[in-house]
Structure 1
Amino acid sequence: MLLGGRLARRASTTTTSAALLPASADVVVIGGGSVGASAAYHLAARGLRTVLLEAHTLTAGTTWHTAGMLWRLRPSYVDVELHEKTRMRCLELEDALEEIEKETPGSRRGSIFSANGGLFVATTRERLAEYERLAEMGKFYNIEAHMVSPAESRDIHPLLNVDDLVGSMYSPGDGTIDASNVCDAYRRVAKARFGAIFAEHTRCARIETCEGVFRRHVRAVVTEDGRRIETRNVVNAAGAWANDVLATLDSPIPDLPLLAMKHAYVVTESIPDLQEALSSSSSSSKAIPNVRDHELSIYVKAQGDALALGGYETNPEFRRVTPDFAFSLYDLDWETFSQNLEGHFRRCPVVEDVGVKSTVCGPESFTPDHKPLVGPSPDLGGLFLACGFNSMGMMLAGGVGEHLAEYVCDGGATSADLFALDPRRFHASCSRDPKWVKRTTHESYAKTYAIVFPHDEPLAGRLHRTSALHEALADRGCVFQSRHGFERPGWFVPNRQERLEPLPYDYYGAYDDDDAAWRLDWKGDIAESTRRHATNPYNDVVEGELAFGWGKSFGLVAAECRAARNSAVVFDQSYFGKFELAGPQAEAAARHVCAAALRPGVGQTTYTPLCNANGGVEADLTVTRLRNGNLYFVSGGSTCSRDAAWIRDNINRFDATLVDRSDDFAVISVQGPLSRRVLAPLVDGARLGPPTIDPTFDMDAFLPFSFALENVTVAGVPGVRVIRLTFVGELGFELHAPYDRAKEIYAAIGAVDAGYRAMDSLSAEKGYRHWHADLSNAETPFEAAIGFAVAPRLKNTSRDVDDFIGRAALEEARKAGVFSRKRLVCLSINDDDDDGEPFSVEPPANAAPLHGAETLWYDDDTCVGLVRSTAFSHALRKTIAYGYVHADQVSHLHQKLTPDFLKSGTWSIGDRGARRPATLHLKPPVDPTNDRVKTVAA
């Protein structure tokens, strides 16, 4: 029931008449919340003729009732950077408004951002460890953060009960953004400085499209009163109404993977003790900080002389929001909100004795992985998305607006790694399945305040995409990981009687006995199939990995790594993306998107980055020439949907087609020094070596490294593509086998099973890169230490040389110095040294693992970067870490990032307040000369 259509304070009193709308614009933004207003501002600032359409008035929808809190530290470094851009943009808007005030006296509005601080309280050691990790990351970004005791927590916020706390993190620069004022500031500055048009009370009724090269493209926007704006670009920033905007398209596309849920907070009556608490607070701002208690899943925010109390319940309610639900609210479900309220009584006892002045229960949009949808639509050219912000739109809006403008203005190239927000990150079979979307979105909401452990796995949306080998792997004790909706092998528990595959989703977060696994009461009528499983072996095993220490799988992964280095293992890598580029101009199209020079012979395979116009690496993959003239692209499984979309977007001027073959082939990878011996008896015609292994026989004469054979018969299965490649640094072969017969090949291979946890360790010690971890669109191939792949092509300066995307930027980078911005380095932790033998099943007794986002230190006093990826090397018994050294962090030393400079320093890694000595590696720690990869041994 609606609470009388309650209205918020309007952000704007100036409405642009529809009669003043232009006949054309460079871009039309739909939605006038914090994200839409920011997008319009940043697009206009880039010089685009920008029109924003809002069906009601600015802040309508979800922005007007936001709590407005801004937390500067988050587990993701990308989020940290986006939040910081938002904070800085708020301060810049304040300055801009001061200038406007001089021109139009009396127009000044209230404050946009108040730095009242933030306090994260911890009741468990694991939670405190998470906060210590955040504080460590803050050192690189110069974000002030202090670990404080329970008593100090009480001094900072005198109303808190601290009896059960083990500590807290205090960040004095956190604060609160005024939703109305920030949206109004974006409008006023965008209009006054850049000529943007903000049209309120103007609803989009239809989006016209036209035929494109391989998909349709935006052509125009038509308003409800029939006004037409011709445009090639539309930004959908309509939040919970984003799918309603898609419904106005004249040619339908699939719904976005987002759902609206009720989200609530209450505001107390006046609290007499609040003013006294303010005067006695030891916070640096002398203001009551915002508080988050993740264990209780609540937040507390001072609001005048009262407190706003909110949180995330484990049984959220989905809602279909009507078009006119602009400034309205729902009745609060007190039974649902009681979960939060009980936590508030425990953390802030004073609220139990005061009344509730108002309740705020409105819609918010949520997504399957609790990340927004920001970037190009995978289904319509010229449509950009900025929606699904999971109650974090206010915090992210400033940063997202800036990078969204880059997407539109710079041909899809952004200066930040936004893959985690990219709408193309989902596999189409997942994002277009309403059941998958609902279940995963429910779980992501319920786990909003869960500790972000590095090896956590979801329970929702499982068994959606599986390999041809899935049943066989499950029978062998496979513990599966979910990536891109695909069940890939994580590690194996051999000789286990019960299978460890995920069970059908039973609503993680909604059960009747609180056993510390987020299973609280589900209020409602649910089918028997969704009730909690009596036992869940898979979840029990996964929960054994939920720690910042060593997981229970340590010894099992070590054994898989030992087998890979000493004999042979078999990986199921079917989750790879597999595509064929075909057509009369396939060769030219490939040369256009691939930065490396493609090897010319049939069967030859080339490793290549794909670069954007800025020289940033949009993907890295392999390309193999087939006999039929097609080019076979193989990309990472978690990025394959985005990779395919990027390639298609950039070959649209060629007569060529990218065909998805991902579901046609399974990929069975046999790796290790004995891999040829394992496979040779199974290969018809003995293409990999003679039937009787002769140690003196030159087997490379049959299949050299980076070569492929087609139509090979393996274990009686014809039509197999055999490619000699490795991602673990060993002699190895990938068998790309017809999907429906792959299990026959797997059954014939007598190697040890291994999973991606072992692969991560083996590839890290060998120095192989992982896109989105070690490199991204924000780094060039040179900065990511894969310049070898592009350097030969850049050296070719003949007049008839083919151009490729990013060439000009990379040539400029070479002139300026390829490491003028940053450089990837590899470090190994010295305190891992112990008496354990290589591949020991016991973890180092005197060291803890790294998990990423730790700090990199040069000569003990200069923080030069963050750890981007990390793994434990079982061969070396050391933790390996990769991270970027940023040139601006050593500018005071007047040094360039040369090998001599890097080697001259003393290195350490900052881990939760401690410094751990480290050794620099300019070459891979294991097999730096590639002898094992190119071996001719049996």
Structure 2
Amino acid sequence: MTKSADVVVVGGGSLGMSALYHLQKKGLSCVLLERNQLTSGTTWHSAGMLWRLRPSDIDIELHSYTRQMCMQLEEETGFASWTENGGLFIANNKERFEEYKRLAETAKYFGIESNILEPNQINDVHPLLRTDDTVGAMYSPSDGTIDPTGIVNAYAKAAKKLGAKIYEKTGVASVKTTPSSNPQTPNASVVQAITTTAGHTIETPVVVNACGAWANELTSMVGCKIPLLAMKHAMVVTEKMEGMHPSLPNVRDHDLSIYLKTQGDAMAIGGYEQNPEFCELDEKFEFGLFNLDWDTFGQNLEGHIQRCPAIESVGIKSTVCGPESFTPDHKPLVGPQPGVHGFFHACGFNSMGMMLGGGIGRELAEWVVTGSADVDLFSFDVARFHRDNLGDPKWVKDRTHESYAKTYAIVFPGDESLAGRTTPSVRKSGGFEDTAAAGCVFQNRHGYERPGYFIGGDVAPLEYDYYGAYEEEGAWRLLEESSPASIAKHKENKYERVIEGDLTFGVPESFDAVAEECHACRNGVAVFDQSYFGNFYLEGPEALDAVQKLAGFDVEAKEDGSVTYTTMCNSKGGVEADLTVLRVNEDQFYFSAGGQTCSKDWWWIERNIQDMDCKLRDVSDETTLLSLQGPKSRTLLQKLVEDPAQIDDEALEFSHGKKIIVAGHECLVLRLTFVGELGFELHVPSHCASDVYKAVFAAGAELGDGVPVRNAGYKCIDSLSAEKGYRHYHADLSNADTPMEAGIGFAVLPKLKAGVDFIGSGALNKKREEGIQRKLVCLTVEHDEDGSPVIFNGMETIIRDGEVLGLVRSTAYGHSVEKTIAFGYIDKWEGCKKGITNKQLQEEGTTWQIGDRGKVWDATLHIKSVFDPKGERISGIY
């Protein structure tokens, strides 16, 4: 056995083999260890269906690459793994049909053939299906089926040809790590070697965890735990069915939560029941199967018979009930383990491992070699979870149940999780009780209860009831010793009822409430509780050097007390983080990072300052962030400070901050806005946040009836910030987008022009020379013909002069401008010379449109922000 390797991959399923192949292809020396034999674990019993059309452009790209790899590897190795028999999606209600029309619209950008079918056309594609209870379908003829054994063998042969080594019947006994060399990060460690159960040690700086449902076993060897649980997942194969043949498409009926896979002259049928059974796994269960629980599978079978009545009259050839791994948000766990340098994950694929295998293998290899993936993988990044949630088994269990049960649910932008809202790890602001009492409809993001919008009354989330799945019996399936025999469904759940009002692709029920909040902010004062932001200090003798290394904006020349919006880029110029930085002094900086990304941002910073004399200090939990925004915000705040002159223009300029006594408590006050108004962020010690909150509204009442002062939430922020053109990470910005492409070149260009180095500066300079090949654009659409608002939901097509050039990334209705606003990246078009410029975007006679569900809307391009393009209101000019 080899004594050293650049990378050791553990796990010989489809993900491990794909990772091995792509890493070896990068020129690395790679080894794969499999304690049983290739395909063991969850790969061998995979259904293998591949569906390219998904409500995520990243999923579509990764699935498409997997399909391409199947065909490419067959040519390279002779191992066949791909059958192109197509995919058919059945819709049983109008909203589902609308979702399929949205997918078909997105397909136009990717060049994927898709056909929207009326009920009377479905049997032309699949004669055995019942159609009288459907409203339509979508047919994607280039979807198909992957043979698990074939693709694994193909990867193995190709990887070996490149020089990779594969050792079967070789388990892992331990992963050796050493503490970080930086005394400022004593909890971090670095991978050094891996030891097999036979006693062989392989020195390596990188270990890839591709152990599927057993992934936590390997993760525990580096002292960590990931949010991954195993469940029993079943598939039944019928006897021969008359009329079945291999060229019939695989079928998904999302509304019945089932699939029907073509299996020669038979069908393999499965689905996602509401009452799944969790399971614990023995290490020697790699090719093991469970006895099928027909009570659990029964609700799926009812759906199968409803969609294909012939199933009721045929026999059962075999059953397959094996373990599969699932996560709290139904997304994989990919990327570097926070705090353990050199330990990477490729696991937790929620029954989508075969579809994602090729694409994730490619991106993981890129991540290992360069430090970041080539596409936006934030939703897959293992660092997306907050540490408190990871340490809460109840949160992990409940959220994972919900993600499994809602596998086939329609993906509505306005949906909210009901699980994990009352468990011990849920984080809340110091003003939580006050906002709850004001009738807040909360959203849970990154384990934090943040305000969504306000409607009055008690709308608090309730303890998770599993959607009534265990109401009659069967709670034993949760594998909890203290679980009762059954868990009753709430008789009344106002929160669930309110959220259901936003489950639409049209105008949500929250529309009017959000509009009122927006108007209050534009005309009086809106009070936002933004405490879910991550707030931390970077401190030490080399703090300034560290910020200069990380940040795209030059903070060295900035004065103490100044606040800077900056991006932090990777080596390829993509944006890994965008946040604000307060320079306290040259040895201390205060970061405010978006709440959804704050854990990822923390680890990105820590990973890149390992050799520097400075450290991070987290103050998020002890800080409540109350943001006062609007034309009367200064007038209100002056009533709460000892000297009103402390916050006038001269004493507190825009993008500056200082400590001020507010309502009797010392607060860090930053003059900032994320909604385009005169505004102030109050960073309040959480123990006195309620006092400050109450004082704010008491002072607001003194402004008089003509000045609206009200609570506002993140739906309001989404609308107002879209009007101002502010970017949102993982929507308008990602590791795959450069600041220039995103239209925020101001965050890096001064430093680039001055020749100051920072991470990514070399790549950004090169991209400047080459010209912008893709660019974020802002478009607006007027009202519908009947005067009603046009609602977009993301993934619509962007059309320039009749050519589809991109997809909508983020969208909101602008209540102040009464227009629908859409942001999306477009590709360079034919005739565009060196790169995309604003001049070319505005060429006379150019037409812009947005396509949604087969309809095309005329759109207006905006180079500057839709609202207050001169930015006068930020300066208090009204």
1:807 to 757, 761, 765: 761
Q: TM-score, normalised by structure 2?
A: 0.95
Separation (CA, whole Å) in 1 of partners of 2:157 and 2:44: 18
2:431 to 455, 460, 469: 469
Cα deviation, 1:883-913, whole Å, max 9, x if unaligned, reads 01111xx136657422232123100001001
Q: 2:396 aligned with 1:440, yes or no?
A: no
> What secondary structure does 1:620 align onto?
strand
Query: Per-residue deviation at 1:790?
Result: 0.9
Q: CA RMSD in A?
A: 1.6
> What secondary structure does 1:891 align onto?
coil
1:581 to 517, 538, 545: 538
Q: 2:213 aligned with 1:240, yes or no?
A: yes
Q: Which amino acid aligns with 1:66?
A: S
Map residues 346-357 of structure 1 onto 2, 5 A cutoff.
Answer: 346-357=306-317
Separation (CA, whole Å) in 1 of partners of 2:621 and 2:14: 41
Contact kept? 2:471, 2:487, Cα under 8 Å:
no
Query: Per-residue deviation at 1:683?
Result: 1.1
> What secondary structure does 2:537 align onto?
strand
2:564 to 594, 598, 606: 606
> What secondary structure does 1:666 align onto?
strand
Separation (CA, whole Å) in 2 of partners of 1:312 and 1:899: 48
Q: 2:815 aligned with 1:874, yes or no?
A: yes
2:241 to 268, 271, 276: 271
Q: 2:10 aligned with 1:56, yes or no?
A: no
Over 3 Å counting, the alpha-carbon distance change for 1:240 and 1:509 in structure 2 is farther
Q: 2:382 aligned with 1:382, yes or no?
A: no
1:92 to 65, 72, 85: 72
Contact kept? 1:443, 1:509, Cα under 8 Å:
no
Q: 2:446 aligned with 1:484, yes or no?
A: yes
Contact kept? 1:566, 1:672, Cα under 8 Å:
yes
Which residue of structure 1 lines up, in the alignment, with residue 800 of structure 2? 858
2:863 to 922, 929, 935: 922
Separation (CA, whole Å) in 2 of partners of 1:361 and 1:792: 59
Separation (CA, whole Å) in 2 of partners of 1:197 and 1:87: 25
Cα deviation, 1:649-688, whole Å, max 9, x if unaligned, reads 0111110101111112100000001100010010123244
Separation (CA, whole Å) in 2 of partners of 1:746 and 1:441: 35
Separation (CA, whole Å) in 2 of partners of 1:816 and 1:649: 30
1:67 to 40, 47, 50: 47
Which residue of structure 2 lines up, in the alignment, with residue 564 of structure 1? 521
> What secondary structure does 1:733 align onto?
strand
Which residue of structure 2 lines up, in the alignment, with residue 884 of structure 1? 825
Cα deviation, 1:494-535, whole Å, max 9, x if unaligned, reads 3x3xx101011111351559xxxxxx9867694499522221
Contact kept? 1:766, 1:924, Cα under 8 Å:
yes
Which residue of structure 1 lines up, in the alignment, with residue 630 of structure 2? 672
1:207 to 150, 156, 175: 175
Which residue of structure 2 lines up, in the alignment, with residue 458 of structure 1? 417
How many residues align structurally?
A: 852
Which residue of structure 1 lines up, in the alignment, with residue 693 of structure 2? 746
Query: Per-residue deviation at 1:936?
Result: 5.2
Which residue of structure 1 lines up, in the alignment, with residue 358 of structure 2? 398
> What secondary structure does 1:225 align onto?
coil
Which residue of structure 1 lines up, in the alignment, with residue 552 of structure 2? 595
Cα deviation, 1:133-191, whole Å, max 9, x if unaligned, reads 00100000001001011121111000000010100000001000010010000000111
Q: 2:772 aligned with 1:772, yes or no?
A: no
Over 3 Å counting, the alpha-carbon distance change for 1:509 and 1:299 in structure 2 is farther
Contact kept? 1:150, 1:163, Cα under 8 Å:
yes
Contact kept? 1:253, 1:379, Cα under 8 Å:
no
Q: 2:108 aligned with 1:156, yes or no?
A: no
Separation (CA, whole Å) in 1 of partners of 2:484 and 2:508: 35
Q: Which amino acid aligns with 2:289?
A: L
Which residue of structure 2 lines up, in the alignment, with residue 829 of structure 1? 781
Separation (CA, whole Å) in 2 of partners of 1:274 and 1:91: 25
Q: 2:653 aligned with 1:704, yes or no?
A: yes
1:722 to 662, 669, 677: 669
1:336 to 288, 296, 300: 296
Q: Which amino acid aligns with 1:396?
A: L
Separation (CA, whole Å) in 1 of partners of 2:277 and 2:382: 24
Which residue of structure 1 lines up, in the alignment, with residue 703 of structure 2? none
Over 3 Å counting, the alpha-carbon distance change for 1:239 and 1:407 in structure 2 is same
Cα deviation, 1:728-784, whole Å, max 9, x if unaligned, reads 000000000111001111101123100000000000010000011011110110000
Separation (CA, whole Å) in 2 of partners of 1:22 and 1:644: 36
Contact kept? 2:468, 2:488, Cα under 8 Å:
no
Unaligned runs of 5+ in 2: 701-708
Q: Which amino acid aligns with 1:304?
A: G
> What secondary structure does 2:792 align onto?
coil
Cα deviation, 1:442-493, whole Å, max 9, x if unaligned, reads 0100000000000100011114111111111111010000100100000001
1:621 to 576, 579, 585: 579
> What secondary structure does 1:206 align onto?
strand
Separation (CA, whole Å) in 2 of partners of 1:789 and 1:775: 13
Q: Which amino acid aligns with 2:312?
A: E
2:113 to 137, 144, 154: 144
Q: 2:221 aligned with 1:257, yes or no?
A: no
Unaligned runs of 5+ in 1: 1-20, 98-107, 279-286, 514-519, 690-698, 835-843
Cα deviation, 1:27-57, whole Å, max 9, x if unaligned, reads 0000000000000000000001000000111
Query: Per-residue deviation at 1:273?
Result: 2.5
Map residues 126-137 of structure 1 onto 2, 5 A cutoff.
Answer: 126-137=95-106
> What secondary structure does 1:659 align onto?
strand
Contact kept? 2:544, 2:586, Cα under 8 Å:
no
Cα deviation, 1:267-309, whole Å, max 9, x if unaligned, reads 001112324xx7xxxxxxxx10000000100000111111000
Contact kept? 1:460, 1:508, Cα under 8 Å:
no
Cα deviation, 1:192-216, whole Å, max 9, x if unaligned, reads 1x10011111111111111213311
Q: Which amino acid aligns with 1:176?
A: T
Contact kept? 1:446, 1:509, Cα under 8 Å:
no
